[in-house]
A and B are shown apart, each in its own frame.
Chain A
Amino acid sequence: MGYVAVKGGTLAIEESAKRLNYERLKKGVVMDCHRIEGGMRCLIDQVMSESSLYNETLAALAIKQAEGSPEEAVFLMRAYRSTLPRKHYSRTVECADMLVERRISASFKDIPGGQILGAANDYTHRLIDFSLSEETDQEAINWVGDYILESGVDEEMTDLANLPKVLDYLREEGLIPACENDDSEPDDVTKESLQFPTSRSERLQILTRGQTGAVTSLGYVALRSYGALHPTVGELRIGNLSIYVDNPFDERIGDEDAYYIGEIKVTEVETVFPEDVQTLNGQKELEFSLGYGICYGQNETKAIAMSILDHCLETGNQEYPTHNEEFVLLHIDSVESTGFISHLKLPHYVTFQSKLDSVRKSKKSKDSTQ
């Protein structure tokens, strides 16, 4: 018998739940969900990305309930997600159609369309701004008003919805191989459990919903020592993508019949990996291969790390754990890893008792032989 149901403790559990609520409320201040939504953009993006559910309002609520713990908020969101009926599939989204807010390339300075810095922490001093502790709503409104006035007249006429992809420029030059569209139906990791070897669609899905910290760490491992890659960010773009669903009633499929249902913000990264390739006459040549990363919201580190891991898993060099799909894909999910570790707190009375018995027995037999 594997498990014995543990009975009792109901009262203690109810009290524990009360205590948890007390901890949330004891300072007599309640977080307003609008304020979380307004001021916790990055945490919301992270939670939405890890829970594979794009809804800022719900993410704010989950963060409030979880008292800001990302793993708990993601758990709540995933649980809620699993109750939702899936009524429609969206049309394929092309990131070339993104309405860009930020777009940079580390490979070329003068990319067609230009470098657009947008909003980023990269160029700040990283000093704590103590004046923020006194910030008021009115100040915020005033600042935004001034900012809009200041940047109201846009003299440059860059078409932000139509920026060319940097890598297409390399393709046109013939420096990286052209790639075919893969229009096969993607496998869905939320419906079928993972079986190895995985398809690329499955790998990308697991990576994009991976825990931010885990994806970043493993990406760093691949970069620093295990494989020691040094990729260059070909293009990193952040912006909004419009989502359309087809008319579900009949098979008439044309652009005219699709419905616009909203937009999502994503971070998309394409990294370029220089690689030595042996040619037929024995000489070494440098070639470029690619890695791809994308995730909900603005989360650049995760997206770049994802593109590194994508490249590693595509290469599949079994010398390195970061190239092993079981090692990477089975361990980066937030709910799976935190869940399995948390289960160690649950009663293991019977399992432990049997271990204890064996230890006692072996001690006894040792004592008696001495």
Chain B
Amino acid sequence: MKLDLVHDIQVAYRKTLDSMSRPGLIRNIYSQAEKVNMDIGCFDSTLVLVLMLFDTEVKFKVCSEREAELNKLINQLTYAKATEVESANYILVLKDSEPEDLENAFRMAYPGDLLDPHKAATIIIEADSVSNERALTLTGPGIEKERYIDVKTKTNDGWVEFRAEKNSEYPMGIDLIFTDRNDNILCLPRTTQIAKQVVG
């Protein structure tokens, strides 16, 4: 069955919103993502997010080997416009991106300004897997005591540190959405504090 651009996207949106308001809560959008009947070179769940969040007002940046091709496809699907990292509302760091793309995205993404912190960029990262394994401890608004997550990215490349640095000047900062192969969604708004679990 084809993805319904109103009802399926709405269901996926409620789940993503739930995940964003309870950071660390992993929601699964497989039942929507499986209806995506085109392969544009990213996870189906990422494409669901693109269809959910992008419209003609949005500027985006894709970090991928096939950036040009994806730019065109996303523009055709949503009318959103491709741009550079600094001015993008959404930055997609796909699974086939270069290792330095992630660091670059964090470093260059627009963090908003003090008057309009809500205009900051959101980075959507395709991870190998996300889970509630006890690797990272989350605290902050939307979490009663603490929550645990584990995000396995290709290089495990220090995104926790990049993020901490980028978000040091609250309320400016960036929000993160992780997707994985199993269509799990994990959101980390800028208010969430991350601590690494110390073994022992």
Partner-B contacts on A (CB < 8 A): 85-89, 248-250
Q: Which chain A residues lie closer than 8 Å to B57 at the CB level? A: 86
Partner-A contacts on B (CB < 8 A): 55-57, 72, 75-76, 79
Q: Which residue of A lies closest to B115 (CB)?
A: A195
Q: Which chain A residues lie closer than 8 Å to B76 at the CB level? A: 249
Closest 8 CB pairs of A and B: A248-B79, A87-B56, A249-B76, A249-B75, A87-B79, A85-B55, A248-B56, A86-B56
Q: How far is the CB of B199 from chain A (nearest CB, A)?
A: 47
Cα distance, A152 to B14, chains bound together (Å): 60
Q: How far is the CB of A191 from chain B (nearest CB, A)?
A: 8
13 contacts between A and B (CB under 8 A): A85-B55, A86-B55, A86-B57, A87-B55, A87-B79, A88-B56, A88-B79, A248-B56, A248-B75, A248-B79, A249-B76, A249-B79, A250-B75
Q: Which residue of A lies closest to B116 (CB)?
A: A192
Q: Which residue of B lies closest to A192 (CB)?
A: B116
Cα distance, A69 to B34, chains bound together (Å): 49
Chain B binding surface, main DSSP class:
loop
Q: Which chain B residues lie closer than 8 Å to A249 at the CB level? A: 75-76, 79
Q: Which chain A residues lie closer than 8 Å to B75 at the CB level? A: 248-250
Chain A binding surface, main DSSP class:
loop
Cα distance, A355 to B75, chains bound together (Å): 57
Further pairs besides A86-B56, A86-B57, A89-B56: 5, Cβ < 8 Å: A87-B55, A87-B79, A88-B79, A249-B75, A249-B76
Q: Which chain B residues lie closer than 8 Å to A88 at the CB level? A: 56, 79
Q: Which chain A residues lie closer than 8 Å to B56 at the CB level? A: 86-89, 248
Cα distance, A86 to B56, chains bound together (Å): 7
Q: Which chain B residues lie closer than 8 Å to A87 at the CB level? A: 55-56, 79
Cα distance, A250 to B56, chains bound together (Å): 12
Cα distance, A248 to B72, chains bound together (Å): 11
Q: Which chain B residues lie closer than 8 Å to A86 at the CB level? A: 55-57
Q: How far is the CB of A150 from chain B (nearest CB, A)?
A: 48
Q: Which residue of A lies closest to B55 (CB)?
A: A85
Q: How far is the CB of A90 from chain B (nearest CB, A)?
A: 12
Q: How far is the CB of B121 from chain A (nearest CB, A)?
A: 18
Q: Which chain A residues lie closer than 8 Å to B55 at the CB level? A: 85-87
Q: Which residue of B lies closest to A191 (CB)?
A: B57
Q: Which chain B residues lie closer than 8 Å to A250 at the CB level? A: 72, 75
Cα distance, A248 to B55, chains bound together (Å): 11
- Most chain B CB within 10 A, of A88, A248, A250, is at A248
Q: How far is the CB of B70 from chain A (nearest CB, A)?
A: 14
Q: Which residue of A lies closest to B75 (CB)?
A: A249
Q: How far is the CB of A89 from chain B (nearest CB, A)?
A: 8
Q: How far is the CB of A277 from chain B (nearest CB, A)?
A: 38
Q: How far is the CB of B114 from chain A (nearest CB, A)?
A: 14
Q: How far is the CB of B13 from chain A (nearest CB, A)?
A: 14
Q: Which residue of A lies closest to B80 (CB)?
A: A248
Q: How far is the CB of A257 from chain B (nearest CB, A)?
A: 14
Q: Which chain B residues lie closer than 8 Å to A248 at the CB level? A: 56, 75, 79
Cα distance, A87 to B78, chains bound together (Å): 9
Q: Which residue of B lies closest to A248 (CB)?
A: B79
Cα distance, A86 to B72, chains bound together (Å): 20
Q: Which chain B residues lie closer than 8 Å to A85 at the CB level? A: 55
Q: Which residue of B lies closest to A188 (CB)?
A: B57
